[in-house]
Structure 1
Amino acid sequence: MLNGQQLLKFTCLFIFVLTSSKMVLAEESTIEFPGTQSDYHGFSQVNFELDGVECRVVQPRGVAEGRPWIWRARFFGHEPQLEIALLKRGYHVAYTDVAGLFGSPEAIKRWDRLYEYLTNEHGFNHRPVLEGMSRGGLIVYNWAAANPDQVRCIYADAPVCDFKSWPGGKGSGPGSKGAWDQCLKAYGMTEAEAMAFQGNPIDNLKPLAEASVPLLHVVGDADEVVPVAENTAILEERYKKLGGEITVIHKPGVGHHPHSLKDPTPIVDFILKHE
């Protein structure tokens, strides 16, 4: 019979062997993607096209169990500290180009295509983490509302939650006329139709609440570009009323930039908590 000290040594050895074995299996399960190779902060990035649309996948050195991944909506590579932290934990990072589409049906179609490709052909987890930075909030929430059972959690950073606020500029923010014109074109709407539209993220939270999708927002309280009061604050209030789980990290005195957190640990912890 083992005494206490021997049992402790045996347990530690068993955990070490088990952990090491998982890492060996993970290393062997790295996926080969077609496309051109490039470097992403020391990790392998593959650039390819699906139906003529630019896509990118960054691969970890060792793949975590279940092939988890984070899906960056826009501004790929900007403030990459979260992605780097997750890559070190065995996550993949994915991206497909939806620039100029503002979360419209065409953007959702492109996301559907990449999701189908990664999950069906490469065994990616069926419930990715969604990351929406600034205008990326539109596609993240619109795709999630259409596919609530295919989302593990959402991290949104200074997100646009109502296109009337930005790029429309119909509230306290300046908006962007050029981007607003693009947005109207992407949705095939007149301005009057857009003002009456009830399909923005702030309007379409019930599917996410019913699917118990946890949300994390990081916002600068002095954001004048995407005002918190017109976006995150409304979404937070409505999501809580629906019984949804949402956490908001406020950055006092900070504007729209810089995005993310210098130390992404709170964001990483939120994601890992909901594995």
Structure 2
Amino acid sequence: MEIMNLPSTLSKFENCYWMHEFELDGCQCKVVEPISPLPGKRWILKAEYFSAFPVFELEMLKRGYYFVFMQLEYECGSPRSLAHWDKLYDFLTGEHGFDRRPILFGLSVGGLYIYNWTARHPEKVGCLYGDNPVCDFKSWPGGKGVGAGDPKHWKTMLKAYGFADEAEALAWKYNPADNLKPIIDAGIPLIHAAATDDTVVPIQENTDILEKNCLALGGRITVFRHPGGHHPHHAVADLPGLCDLIEKSALC
């Protein structure tokens, strides 16, 4: 295995894969190398929770994908956080030859990042995969529906987005579930895994609404629903099948 030439500190991820850690645009970043990279340096960009339940990441590393992460401290997909992702994307694709259409992976609140960034840059994304993703910040962290929300993170999010008050946030029209048109127009496939009994990010005010709106616009979405489960992670029964679909979708 040839280790990438990155200005970074090297360590091991899961005692198996070389991991580069470095700072970019004031944020801590990690790039985990597959043992046998696919041609073209295909990669996954994960939003939030680097070390949480890395079953999907490990499967994709085995398949030859780089695993990339940028620490953004609960920015909840704010414009400021998306600007950091712009820098990371330009750095990896422009200076290190990474594929120009990565797979974006959003676990829980990570859904806000992957959809918001893709709506800005649909030409730069191959596929979106959300694992119980937040599709409307009014649901989480807002807690304005059936979910409990998180008052502390709601306040942090209001500040990150630059909203003057809660009323401005509630009137905002660009949550992922409401801002699908640029993504659908670009033909980007959407894949979700969602538990039907999630009480933190309830499916009925997140994935269900996004799916309905996506189909109404003529978009492509596949949802793996599974009963039970408690947030944040619910393992998909057929992980290889899920990864096969994501790979195939990203190449379309």
TM bin, normalised by shorter chain, reads over 0.9
Which sits farther off after the overlay, 134-143 or 73-82? 73-82
1:34 is matched with which residue? 7
Deviation track 1:219-273 (CA, whole Å, cap 9, x = no partner) reads 1100111111111001000001111100000111223243343652122111221
Q: Is the 8 Å Cα contact of residues 221 and 255 (structure 1) preserved in structure 2? A: no
Deviation track 1:163-214 (CA, whole Å, cap 9, x = no partner) reads 0111111001111110100011111111000010001101110011011100
Q: Is the 8 Å Cα contact of residues 43 and 59 (structure 1) preserved in structure 2? A: yes
Aligned residue among 159, 163, 178 for 2:133: 159
Distance in 2 (alpha carbons) for counterparts of 1:273 and 1:77: 26
Distance in 1 (alpha carbons) for counterparts of 2:242 and 2:52: 16
Identity of aligned residues (%): 47
Describe the SS at the equivalent of 1:154: strand
Which sits farther off after the overlay, 258-267 or 151-160? 258-267
2:112 is matched with which residue? 138
Show the 5 A alignment for 1:1-275: 27=1, 30-41=3-14, 42-189=16-163, 190-261=165-236, 263-274=238-249, 275=251
TM-score, L = length of structure 1: 0.87
Name the aligned partner's letter for residue 150 of structure 1: K
Shift of 1:127: 0.1
Name the aligned partner's letter for residue 212 of structure 1: G
Q: Is the 8 Å Cα contact of residues 93 and 100 (structure 2) preserved in structure 1? A: yes
1:9 is matched with which residue? none
Distance in 2 (alpha carbons) for counterparts of 1:52 and 1:107: 11
Distance in 2 (alpha carbons) for counterparts of 1:226 and 1:266: 24
Distance in 2 (alpha carbons) for counterparts of 1:256 and 1:100: 17
Distance in 1 (alpha carbons) for counterparts of 2:243 and 2:93: 23
Describe the SS at the equivalent of 1:226: coil
Deviation track 1:123-171 (CA, whole Å, cap 9, x = no partner) reads 0000000000000000110001101111100110111110011111100
Distance in 1 (alpha carbons) for counterparts of 2:18 and 2:63: 15
* Root-mean-square deviation over aligned CA pairs: 1.2
Distance in 1 (alpha carbons) for counterparts of 2:79 and 2:224: 30
Describe the SS at the equivalent of 2:199: coil
TM-score, L = length of structure 2: 0.95
Q: Which has the higher helix share?
A: 1
Structure 1 portions without partners, runs of 5+ = 1-26
Distance in 1 (alpha carbons) for counterparts of 2:194 and 2:207: 8
Distance in 2 (alpha carbons) for counterparts of 1:272 and 1:177: 37
Q: Is the 8 Å Cα contact of residues 101 and 186 (structure 1) preserved in structure 2? A: yes
Describe the SS at the equivalent of 2:228: coil
Q: Is the 8 Å Cα contact of residues 82 and 267 (structure 1) preserved in structure 2? A: no
Distance in 2 (alpha carbons) for counterparts of 1:133 and 1:34: 28
Q: Is the 8 Å Cα contact of residues 79 and 161 (structure 2) preserved in structure 1? A: yes
Deviation track 1:24-47 (CA, whole Å, cap 9, x = no partner) reads xxx55x522111111112000010
Distance in 2 (alpha carbons) for counterparts of 1:256 and 1:221: 11
Distance 1:243 1:151, change over 3 A: same
